[in-house]
Structure 1
Amino acid sequence: MTRTLHVIIDSESDRSDLEDTLVALDAGEDVDPEPSTLSVEDLETFGRLFRPTNLELLEAIATHDPSSIRELARVVGRHPPEVTQNVTELADYGLVELEQDGRAKRPVVWYDEIDVDIPIGRHSPDTARA
């Protein structure tokens, strides 16, 4: 079963759906296979979260299952403090979970794919052209 994270850009950002999924995962419950949704407040934030270095981290976490952020830094060939900062930001948005493993924090991604909707214009029935 593929688990999908759906990302939208919405100025009225609401992460409650994503937070419910994360709580269920933490409790060891099965999660709904329907996509969970992460609302990102604007295109600038989206660009920061999904810049190439962060995508490389997400892929490395999913592929290598590192036991700590330090190990993740070794896998991607970057300095641990920089990787820690990036992973913390990803965790703040729910893109990565940090599981306490002794003194280390183990980064985990709980989804298999990311589906993104990027609006290029706002259209309402009043502004749509016939």
Structure 2
Amino acid sequence: MSKAIIGTESLQTMFKRAHEVARKIDGGEPLPEADYHLNFESATRLFSELTPRRMELLEELKRSGPRSIYALAKGLHRNYSNVHSDVRILVDHGLLEKDEKGRVFMPWDEIQINVSFAKAA
């Protein structure tokens, strides 16, 4: 099962996680099957990128399967240019892809969103 995990993570934590993966690679240790991780520095930033309209778009594609941006906009009762802009952002974040026919689809079986509010140091 492929999973995209979206969350909040400090740069320090991200570097620690990357360092641990590099250590395992250097040591010849096998790595577990990786999920796709997309992290933002804050919940505010995460939700400014994953707006309710973009979440609705992801849900629609998960339900319907690959669609053209035109068909997606029509199904969502939204303006084509706004849907096109949202699709471009979601593709840039790795949450959507395009197939050989130019249709957009969600390549993940599941998207999980984790938001935590850490206590200030």
Structures share a fold, TM > 0.5? yes
- What's 1:77 paired with? 77
Residue of 92, 115, 119 corresponding to 2:116: 119
Q: Aligned with 1:48: secondary structure? A: helix
User: What is the aligned-residue RMSD (CA, Å)?
Assistant: 2.3
| Cα deviation digits, residues 69-102 of structure 1 (max 9, x gap) | 111101111011000011111111111112341x
Q: What is the alpha-carbon distance in structure 1 between the residues aligned to residue 62 and residue 54 of structure 2? A: 12
Residue 62 of structure 1: CA displacement?
1.2
Q: Looking at secondary structure, tell me which structure has more helix per residue.
A: 2
Q: Is the 8 A contact 2:67 2:105 kept in 1?
A: no
Alignment TM-score, normalising by the size of structure 2: 0.71
CA contact (8 A) 1:96 1:109 kept: yes
**Which letter does structure 2 place at the counterpart of 1:43?**
A
Following superposition, the deviation at residue 5 of structure 1 comes to 1.1
How far is 1:47 from its partner? 0.5
* CA apart distance, 1:117: 2.1
Q: How many residues align?
A: 103
Deviation at 1:64, TM superposition (A): 1.2
- Alignment-derived partner of residue 104 in structure 2: 107
Amino acid paired to 2:105? V
Contact kept, 8 Å, 2:2 with 2:110, in 1: the verdict is yes
- Amino acid aligned to 1:4: K
- Separation in structure 2 between the aligned mates of residue 48 and residue 121 of structure 1, nearest angstrom: 19
Query: Which residue of the partner structure matches residue 5 of structure 1?
Result: 4
Instruction: State the partner residue of 2:41.
Output: 41
SS state at 1:111 partner? coil
The alignment's TM-score, normalised by the length of structure 1, stands at: 0.67
Partners of 2:94 and 2:54 in 1: CA distance? 13
Which segments of 5 or more consecutive residues in structure 2 lack a partner in the other structure? 19-32
Shift of 1:42: 2.6
* Aligned residue identity for 1:56: E
Gaps of 5+ in 1: 18-31
3-state SS of paired residue (1:83):
helix
Which structure 2 residues correspond to residues 55-74 of structure 1 after superposition, within 5 A? 55-74=55-74
Q: How many angstroms apart in 2 are the aligned matches of 1:46 and 1:100?
A: 30
